[in-house]
Structure 1
Amino acid sequence: MLPAIAALLSAEMMRNGGSLLTIFQGTNGAKYALHFDLLSARGPNNEFIRLGYAKPVVFERFRFHEPGRDEWQAINPVEISWTHATVLLHQLRGFLCSEHDARWLAAMEETAVSKGKLPAGIDAIL
């Protein structure tokens, strides 16, 4: 079970071609992520095709400090249902602070409601 939400830290499309990610902080102080991993393929002309998203995963983001570098790692990943993801995203909506986050949170909500389909505004062919 996830802790109560204290803050929405970011919502974004990742640079891997289109995975969607929301990072939030729990009331316990830990940072968590809701991640929709992009499913993709190569077309007949070697074009990159976005097919949709794998089932949602929530994980804790753990920060490792080493001299001269910080690294984030995903720990304790848990696959959740699209319905659970939708509920979580609706809860996060109450913590919006920017139009950028609002855009990607809305895209994630649309994806969750459609059970992994590409949201409007994201082209299938990159």
Structure 2
Amino acid sequence: MGNICGKEESENFSQPGRVLGSAPPQPERSSVPAKIGGPPRTLGASTPNPNPNPNPQNGSDSNVDEARRRAAEAAEARAQAFASKSTGKLGTQLAAQKKQTRNDTLKEISNSELRQRDADEAAQARTHN
């Protein structure tokens, strides 16, 4: 009689096993390239900066100032967009939670503990009757 669902011989034990507690064989690892990228670029520039060391005599100091100004304007624009963005129900709940003082938080926790204790006492009273 033969097996109708698969092979007659099992291939699970055809190779030698390893000792219990030993690690499985590790695959070979590839090396990381030593140099990645190209020459440094100025912020906002689409082409590589031909002079990586800015020198005030050749006017590249103004380029650095211009790049800093543009980066600051972009950061301010992102901050304004994030601040005006509608955050929905969870965002409003988070904002309200952030506005709470320490005393407000402790009062809220105390009230929830009192409600829990009252509910437990009511359940106890019902089970004893």
The TM-score normalised by the length of structure 2 is 0.15
Q: Which has the higher strand share?
A: 1
The TM-score normalised by the length of structure 1 is 0.16
Q: Which has the higher helix share?
A: 2
Q: Higher Cα Rg: structure 1 or 2?
A: 2
